[in-house]
Chain A
Amino acid sequence: MKSLVRVASGQGFWGDWLEAPRRQVEGGDVDYLMLDYLAEVTMSILQKQKERDPRMGYARDFIGAIESVLPGIVERGVKVIANAGGVNPRACADALLALADQKGVRGKLALGVVTGDDLLPRLDELIAQGHPLANMDTGEPLSLVRDRVLSANAYIGSGPIIEALGKGANIVVTGRSTDTALTMAPLRYEFGWGAGDWDKLAAGIIAGHIIECGAQCSGGNCLKDWATIPDVWNIGYPIVDARPDGTFEICKHPHTGGRIDVPTVTEQLVYEMGDPHSYITPDVVADFTSIQLEPAGENRVRVFGVKGRPPTDKLKVSIAYRAGYKAVGTLVYAWPDALAKAKAADQVLRRRLEYLGLTFDTIVTEFVGANATHGPLAGAPSDAPEVQLRVGVRGQDKAMVERFTRELIPMVLNGPPSVTGFAAGRPKVEEIVAYWPALIDKTVVTPQVEVVR
């Protein structure tokens, strides 16, 4: 058994820095590269793409990322684990195989493909069998929006990734795996942690939570002493140096910018936190109140003491459904009386929407430069040089939302003065794809693993 396994984070979401995967593989020795592409809303975007083209529905950035790290995979044995498969892991695998052929490395790649998370084809059968897939926040049954569902995916854990690694895969592509499993699975595989090693499994999950948002634990988006964080332009993405006993250190490659210390890691630990006593995953329930952090040298933090307990018998399901239309538009008002002018324009606009008989589920007005980020907590700004009026509407009637988008720009000539910032034209109408979180019995979800050579 190895005494140290290094897992590098190269992508914290779909749209993260394109250079990061290559920098993580070239910057020093690592065993695994972990790439997290999926956020709550990402699956629905991918599902829409797949509807338009059955060869799509995965994170296409991943193909470029693999191309950028091919020498590391082929010559140095770095393994890659990614949830880039989205709603179409097989199409993602096909694109990777095409890349491998093009680069002449087909014989060097063993591609693990994890499927089985997609519940969309089985949805009616599952509901008929008595799985209500009730909304975790509201308690409403899924039948309420069933005819508008676009995608439904169970969050699966480390098991299938470990199976793929065991079958010799050096790239593992999953659909809706939990973000944290992408890091925990290789540790569990290398160190042979079993079901029952709850504290170690929980430590692996917490390692995953710390690095799943990429540089957000290594100085990115860090509030404490933000102005003194060195060389942010050259920021180093995080690496987990893990030990068989379940302790680990967070570090980054030498000669990179950013900062890793107890405060930067703590900020990431509390990010998107719910009840810290129960961080529920398919593999284990981790207790964030057990985590101990200590400095372990320059840009290095030791994590130990983590406690875990057995998981529940449910998996979380991420369901996306069509939920109407929205549009957001902006105009900029200049000094003097910028805020007063923007407020007057908002009143003009609302009177015109009323005059036209347009009704919406909601209209939200913000004054950027005055209250958009902190609302009334910001107090009244004095003598702002400019204020952006930002108005959004949401409703079920697409034509009404369309009509709203025609009402902003006329105000440049027929509303309050000193207005500009309309060059981008009319706001775009977007269909809303909303998120429906639910739970389902673990026993009805069976992940499949295939290794393609």
Chain B
Amino acid sequence: MRVRLLDLAHARSGDKGDTANVGVIALKPEWYPLLARELTVERVAMHFRGVITGGVQRYELPNLKALNFLLHGALDGGGTLSLKTDAQGKVFSTAMLRMVLDVPDAEATSLGLPAAP
């Protein structure tokens, strides 16, 4: 079943220099293991291909049911150097949530995941 990340998580993003951070937080605690399994460094790097110029780092916060991603080379130099509208990475959060996951039907049903429209 195809499931939108938007329906599984909420998120907030910010900046440190030319790096954007995106914190992805499971909307239900029981959905966190799925996010931790699916949102790999490779998957997120693929998602942001053509958007960022550097690599991706990932940290787990099971206590907050959250993952933190650092997206390097995301902000055209960042801070005052950047010419981008989103120079401080404020909306990388919702850009991340555009991701759509393929979840096995049985798992999606048992977790009560909403299907992508």
Contact of B80 with A223 in the complex, beta carbons under 8 Å: no
In the assembled complex, which residues on chain A have CB atoms less than 8 Å from the CB atom of B25? 224, 263, 266-267, 270
Is there a chain A Cβ closer than 8 Å to B108's Cβ?
A: no
Closest to B47 in A: A377
Is there a chain B Cβ closer than 8 Å to A137's Cβ?
A: yes
CB within 8 Å for A137 and B17 given contacts A289-B61, A323-B81, A366-B84: yes
- Report Cα–Cα, A292/B93, bound state, in Å: 23
Partner-contacting stretch, out of A95-103, A388-396, A409-417 = A388-396
> Chain A, interface size: which category?
35 or more
- Report Cα–Cα, A224/B64, bound state, in Å: 15
In the assembled complex, which residues on chain B have CB atoms less than 8 Å from the CB atom of A435? 17, 78-80
- Report Cα–Cα, A276/B69, bound state, in Å: 11
- Report Cα–Cα, A393/B23, bound state, in Å: 31
CB within 8 Å for A394 and B12 given contacts A263-B25, A373-B95: no
In the assembled complex, which residues on chain B have CB atoms less than 8 Å from the CB atom of A362? 76, 83
Contact of A374 with B59 in the complex, beta carbons under 8 Å: no
Contact of B80 with A41 in the complex, beta carbons under 8 Å: yes
**Interface set, chain A 402-441, CB cutoff 8 A to B:** 432-435, 437
Contact of B68 with A276 in the complex, beta carbons under 8 Å: yes
Is there a chain B Cβ closer than 8 Å to A221's Cβ?
A: yes
- Report Cα–Cα, A293/B63, bound state, in Å: 8
- Report Cα–Cα, A271/B70, bound state, in Å: 11
Closest to A226 in B: B10
- Report Cα–Cα, A270/B70, bound state, in Å: 11
Closest to B11 in A: A223
**Interface set, chain B 40-96, CB cutoff 8 A to A:** 47-48, 50-51, 59-66, 68, 70, 76-81, 83-86, 91, 93-95
Is there a chain B Cβ closer than 8 Å to A274's Cβ?
A: yes
Is there a chain B Cβ closer than 8 Å to A446's Cβ?
A: no
Contact of A293 with B51 in the complex, beta carbons under 8 Å: no
Min C-beta distance of B107 to chain A, whole Å: 23
What sequence of 0s and 1s flags, for each residue 79-105 of chain A, a beta carbon within 8 Å of any chain B beta carbon? 000000000000000000000000000
Which among A41, A292, A373, A437 is the interface contact of B85 at CB below 8 angstroms? A373
- Report Cα–Cα, A269/B63, bound state, in Å: 12
Min C-beta distance of B13 to chain A, whole Å: 8
Min C-beta distance of A159 to chain B, whole Å: 25
Q: Is the interface of A mostly helix, strand, loop or mixed?
A: mixed
Contact of B63 with A392 in the complex, beta carbons under 8 Å: no
CB within 8 Å for A434 and B79 given contacts A223-B11, A289-B63: yes
In the assembled complex, which residues on chain B have CB atoms less than 8 Å from the CB atom of A377? 47-48, 51, 95, 98
Contact of A271 with B12 in the complex, beta carbons under 8 Å: yes
Min C-beta distance of B101 to chain A, whole Å: 15
- Report Cα–Cα, A376/B77, bound state, in Å: 19
Min C-beta distance of B28 to chain A, whole Å: 11
- Report Cα–Cα, A366/B50, bound state, in Å: 14
Contact of A293 with B64 in the complex, beta carbons under 8 Å: yes
- Report Cα–Cα, A432/B78, bound state, in Å: 12
- Report Cα–Cα, A328/B81, bound state, in Å: 12
Is there a chain A Cβ closer than 8 Å to B103's Cβ?
A: no
CB within 8 Å for A276 and B91 given contacts A41-B79, A392-B83, A437-B17: no
- Report Cα–Cα, A41/B82, bound state, in Å: 12
Which among A268, A270, A374, A434 is the interface contact of B68 at CB below 8 angstroms? A270
Contact of B15 with A272 in the complex, beta carbons under 8 Å: yes
Is there a chain B Cβ closer than 8 Å to A227's Cβ?
A: no
What sequence of 0s and 1s flags, for each residue 201-225 of chain A, a beta carbon within 8 Å of any chain B beta carbon? 0000000000000000000010110
Contact of A373 with B86 in the complex, beta carbons under 8 Å: yes
**Interface set, chain B 1-38, CB cutoff 8 A to A:** 10-18, 21, 23, 25, 27
Closest to A364 in B: B83
Min C-beta distance of B29 to chain A, whole Å: 10
Is there a chain B Cβ closer than 8 Å to A291's Cβ?
A: yes
Contact of A274 with B23 in the complex, beta carbons under 8 Å: no
Contact of A434 with B80 in the complex, beta carbons under 8 Å: yes
- Which residues of B approach A to under 8 Å, CB–CB? 10-18, 21, 23, 25, 27, 47-48, 50-51, 59-66, 68, 70, 76-81, 83-86, 91, 93-95, 98
Nearest 6 A/B pairs, CB to CB = A270-B23, A392-B83, A272-B14, A224-B10, A364-B83, A267-B12
- List 10 contacting pairs A-B, 8 Å CB cutoff, sorted by A: A41-B79, A266-B25, A272-B15, A276-B68, A289-B61, A292-B63, A368-B85, A373-B95, A394-B81, A435-B17
- 15 more CB-based (< 8 A) A-B contacts, given A364-B83, A373-B86: A41-B79, A137-B18, A223-B93, A267-B25, A269-B23, A270-B61, A272-B15, A272-B16, A276-B59, A276-B68, A364-B84, A374-B91, A374-B98, A377-B48, A390-B85
